[in-house]
Structures are given as C-alpha cells and as structure tokens.
Amino acid sequence: MMSARSKKLINRPSDILTEMLEGFALAHPDIVRLTDSGLIVRARPKQQGRVGLVIGNGSGHEPAMIGLVGEGLFDVNVPGPIFTAPGPDRIVEGIRLANRGAGVLLCVSHHAGDRMNAEIALDLCAAEGIGSVEMVLLYDDVSSAPRGSEPERRGTAGLFFTWKMLGAYAETGASLSEVKAMAERIRDNTRTLAVALTPGTNPVTGHVMFELPEDEIEVGMGVHGEVGRGRSKLVSADATIDLMLPQIIEDLPFRSGDEVLVMLNNSGSMTQMELFILYRQVSRRLGELGIVVAGSWIGPYATTQEMAGFALSLCRVDDSLKQLWAAPAHGAYCRF
C-alpha cells in the first residue's frame, strides 16, 4: 500500500491552529487582522452600506479560506478545528464583525457539520435580534450525488469561483437578496471532479486519511478524503483528464460556444509541472468541443494537507460574470 508523508514541522499538535493563524496574520498585516477569539477579518473593513460576506470552515485546507479574506473578497473567515466546522457561537461573532449595515450573507460549503452549525448560528442571530442575515449553501462536486440531486452534493474547490466573483459583487452596493442570488447563479454554473493519487494525514492525530494501492487513484474524493465514485488504475495525465472531463461536461451540460473559467486545484503535493501537463490536455479537449476558456486558475487553493491529487472545475460565465472575475481583489492568496 502507498504511504503518506508522516513527518511534519510543528510544535505541539494542540497549538497547530493558533500558531498557524498567528503566523498568517503576522505575514499579511496590510490585508488581515486576527481577533482575540481567533477570527480572520479584513485589516480595513468594507465600506458602510455594503453586504458583508462570512465563511466558516474547518482548518487544514490552507490557504482556504484565510487567504480569501480581503478587499473584493470575504470580510470574515471563522476557522474551525482541523477538518471540523466552527461552532455556532463563533459564526455569530463573525456575522457581527461583518455587518456593515446592509446585511450579511453566510456562505456554507455543503458538508453536514458546516450546514448544521450554520443553521444553528442563524437561529441564534434571530434570537438575538441580529437581522438581515441570510445563508447560501454551496456545492459543486459531481461525484457526491447524481444529476438532478445537486443540493445534496459536497462543496469542493470549484466554490472559489463563487467566492471570487461574489466578493466583487458585494462591493458594488447590491442588496442582500441580490448578493445571495448571485451566489446561487455562479454555484449553479460550476462543476468539479477530483482525483487522489496518495492520501494526506491528519496533522493532529497523524492518521492517514485512507489507504490506496500503489497503482490506483481515487476518483471523486472530497476535500477531507471522503470516498468518491470509485477507484481506477493509475494512467497518464492525458488519460486522467479524458476520464474526468467528460463527466464534468455532461453534468451541466457545457456546450459548444460556452465560455468557461477553468480551475486545477492542487490538493497538496502535486507539482506545477504535473498541473501544467494536465491543463494542456484540458485546454486541448475544451477547444475540440468548441468551449472557450475565458480564464484559468492553477495552483494550491484548497489543500488537504499533503494529499497528492487535484480537482478540475469548470464555471460557465457570461460578460457580467467575466467582469466580476476580473474585478480587483486583494487577499493574501487571491489578487486580481
């Protein structure tokens, strides 16, 4: 069986989250600030009268989501423990900090714990009289539920398209209902499929997430190593894209003449060399289908520690979405 990297340079496992956040905030003081309770917020708050954007997530996926806090992006990130959703009370605190007088949209990547805690947080907001708070559930993973059951799917790397463009839209002065509708629109035009070559390890427990034979890949795993559609023999880069891309294309479906944004997300230990070889085949196949690439995003954005693998995402765009895609953004790991 294939083994994962077990050596990590940390201090005490119990201090991982605190020390990681402190180091991140110290590295980017012009962009973010770390609150006493461990939330990442903008160093310069958004203008009054604009909708605030909040996201909570388990840690261990860096630079997601701390790297997407900043101008033109999120107002507040509520980091939870490793691979675990933050508690409702912390989410409520994040909503308070993000409120600039026009309401707050809580963005939730669809996983059971994240959804449950977000719903409790909204109940707490209502009980405390914190008004104008909405939640949007985001998902994109075609492997986790069949076509026609999209709301049951998991959130994965393709959600970065939503977060980038939504951040730009929230800066325009759009209302809370308009911002939520925009999130749903981008979500519904995004599809993702991932593969894993080797697993990652939990940095606190040291446990490998799953076992995978040397000559196989996991197709469709989630960002926490959740089981996917099944396993396949390890094949070439081109053959791997030829295995994945048709499943994504057929799911929306994407058609000739569509314009798309493409993301190849490094799950942790892929090399840029491998990613560019993979992207070459993606670009070539999309061209053969008459699908136009309007922009690409290649690199480590939502990682799963040192997992070797990647996620391929497509987002169908029009002129209005392309403007949001190209709009200024200033996060530590998202700059336009």
> Catalytic: which of 61, 110, 207, 330?
61
Whole-number Å distance between alpha carbons of 260 and 262: 6
Whole-number Å distance between alpha carbons of 75 and 59: 17
- Please name the amino acid found at residue 49: G
Whether the CB-CB separation of 54 and 107 falls below 8 Å is answered with yes
Beta-carbon contacts of 105 under 8 Å, excluding residues fewer than 6 positions away, are 51, 52, 53, 54, 133, 134, 135, 136, 166, 170, 176, 179, 180, 183
> Catalytic: which of 110, 111, 224, 330?
224
Beta-bridge partners for 133 = 104
Whole-number Å distance between alpha carbons of 336 and 325: 8
| DSSP letter assigned to residue 203 | T
Q: What are phi and psi of 183, to 5 degrees?
A: -60, -45
- Provide the pairing of β-strand 334-335 with 52-59: unpaired
Distance of CA 212 to the CA centre of its chain: 24
Whole-number Å distance between alpha carbons of 248 and 15: 39
Whether the CB-CB separation of 176 and 155 falls below 8 Å is answered with no
Whether the CB-CB separation of 195 and 240 falls below 8 Å is answered with yes
Whether the CB-CB separation of 34 and 21 falls below 8 Å is answered with yes
Whole-number Å distance between alpha carbons of 95 and 106: 8
Q: Which secondary structure element, helix H or strand E, spans residue 295, and what is its range?
A: strand 292-299
Whether the CB-CB separation of 223 and 143 falls below 8 Å is answered with no
Whole-number Å distance between alpha carbons of 143 and 130: 37
For the chain, state the CA radius of gyration. Answer: 19
Q: Give yes or no: 61 in active site.
A: yes
Active-site residue set: 61, 224
